[in-house]
A and B are shown apart, each in its own frame.
Chain A
Amino acid sequence: MKRLLLTLGLVALVAISAACSSTAAEPVPSGPIDPNGPTIVAKNLAFTTTTVEIAAGKNVTLHFDNQDSAPHNVAIYQDSSASKKISVGQIITSAKSDQVVPALAAGTYFFRCDVHTNMTGTIVVK
């Protein structure tokens, strides 16, 4: 029984350590807020806007409006593998938030809700 408890404790410790180390690597959005930036709305467990165009080479403020009672965020990644984070917004419930996305090179990027990973979209940087 002691061995079982020890094993379960170790599993929990490893899981929580892995989670904490991932949190530390999240990029922190910063910079002045631009009220004219694009808006992404989350409603009925989906993004109403699945393609967002932004300008290349400058910081952009992304306005996020979560109209659901479920928690959502906008997390931008290099591509759909979601392995390289670019900008991770705060997870909010029934609220709005602003997220400063760092200057990006022209190209196509992937965004999703980190809670509901089936909620996805594309950011086109021109």
Chain B
Amino acid sequence: MTSRSSLRPVDVILRIAIVGLVLGTAYIHSTLGGLLFTLNATGYVVAAIAIIVPLGLAIRFRWVIRLGLMGYAATAIVAWAVQGPYYSTAYIAKAIEVVLITLLAIDFARMDGNPVNVVKSELALLTSKLGRRAATGPAGA
């Protein structure tokens, strides 16, 4: 893993912009009513917290949160394109999500590097851990 944990001023600005956009689209979805939109808004709020929370686990797996949020926003865009409705508020929400995905991709590139390499190195790490555990055998056996 080549992830960087220290934040430069540009990273802070980027992170603030990401959180702002996430909360913006969360707010729009929260005004729409209904279970699906409320759950969508809740998901965005959780993601906004996860992207900045200074907890060890969240920092270690921030790359997963970035990719997950990108996938979440992309899913919301595709679902809207299929289902609609097509009106001004929806266009604003989708524009926010497009910008959000772009900023997340930039953030990912700056902090983690190439996503393919990140996934490969994480899988290699996981495989070696599992291999070590299998070689040691279960405790007390």
Contacts and interface: CB of A to CB of B under 8 A. Distances in A.
A91 B102 CA distance: 29
B34 A116 contact: yes
B17 interface: no
Interface residues of A, number: 27
Given A16-B94, A114-B84, 20 more contacts: A5-B102, A8-B102, A11-B74, A11-B77, A12-B98, A12-B101, A15-B94, A18-B82, A19-B80, A19-B81, A19-B84, A45-B33, A69-B31, A70-B32, A70-B33, A71-B87, A73-B85, A91-B89, A115-B34, A116-B32
29 contacts: A1-B105, A1-B113, A1-B114, A1-B115, A8-B74, A8-B102, A8-B105, A9-B102, A11-B77, A12-B98, A15-B94, A16-B81, A19-B81, A19-B86, A19-B90, A19-B94, A22-B84, A45-B34, A68-B33, A69-B33, A71-B31, A71-B32, A71-B89, A73-B85, A115-B34, A115-B85, A116-B33, A116-B34, A117-B83
Contacts of A22: 84, 86
Contacts of B113: 1
A68 B31 CA distance: 11
Contacts of B98: 12, 16
